[in-house]
């Protein structure tokens, strides 16, 4: 049977879903901080912000104007107060390999160092953003949540081992271990079955 476009599409879907990973960032676990504050992610990966203590939010920030949201695109969780042992989780899908800076816009948390980055580069670093944030004159929140999905931690499948850590290297090592959520495994299984049927 010839290799058809449908077969190629199914195999591409399988490969894309099998490669995606989930990266957890803890919000407020150790005071006004994101942990880890710097991670590396590929297009299609999902960043999960787990809100653990106190009221915080997460905003995609403008690198050139710390503590201010991006003028186009981005995300905002809204202010979240954790409730008991089942914290809220804000999920954001990574749409490019470009650096994504983020901050907490509650009170003066951003100016106090509650900032982070996905995919830092040599010219766009967390240190540069953090230093600029210290002198930011304001801390701006968007009007309403957008750009992600708020779910309960009980609705999230934990990775087989932690994808959190204090450095991008640890995150990269975790991704190499192939952390897939249950939903991605289900999709991969369906796609594999369809591919086997088509071949």
Superfamily of domain 22-154: Cupredoxins -  blue copper proteins (2.60.40.420)
Give CA–CA dist 196/96, Å, rounded. Answer: 31
Predicted TM-score of the model (pTM): 0.73
Q: pLDDT, tens digit, for every residue of 120-162?
A: 999 999 999 999 999 999 999 999 999 999 998 877 765 533 3
Give CA–CA dist 152/155, Å, rounded. Answer: 5
Tokens of 67: 């503590």
E-assigned strands of the chain?
Answer: 22-27, 34-35, 38-39, 46-51, 59-62, 65-69, 88-93, 100-103, 115-118, 149-152
Domain segments of the chain as ranges: 22-154
Q: pLDDT, tens digit, for every residue of 80-101?
A: 998 877 889 999 999 999 999 9
């Amino acid at each position: 049977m010839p290799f058809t476009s449908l077969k190629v599409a199914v195999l591409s879907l399988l490969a894309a879903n099998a490669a995606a990973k989930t990266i957890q960032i803890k919000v407020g676990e150790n005071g006004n901080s994101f942990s880890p504050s710097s991670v590396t992610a590929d297009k299609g990966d999902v960043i999960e912000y787990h809100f653990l203590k106190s009221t915080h939010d997460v905003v995609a920030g403008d690198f050139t104007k710390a503590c201010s949201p991006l003028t186009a695109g981005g995300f905002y969780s809204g202010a979240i107060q954790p409730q008991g042992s089942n914290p809220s989780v804000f999920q954001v899908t990574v749409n490019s390999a470009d650096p994504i800076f983020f901050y907490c816009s509650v009170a003066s948390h951003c100016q106090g160092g509650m900032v982070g980055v996905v995919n830092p580069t040599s010219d766009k670093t967390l240190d540069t953003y953090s230093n600029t944030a210290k002198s930011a004159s304001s801390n701006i929140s968007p009007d309403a949540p957008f750009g992600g999905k708020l779910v309960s931690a009980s609705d999230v499948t934990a990775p087989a081992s932690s994808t959190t850590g204090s450095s991008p290297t640890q995150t990269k090592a975790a991704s190499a271990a192939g952390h897939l959520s249950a939903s991605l495994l289900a999709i991969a299984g369906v796609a594999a079955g369809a591919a086997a049927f088509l071949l």
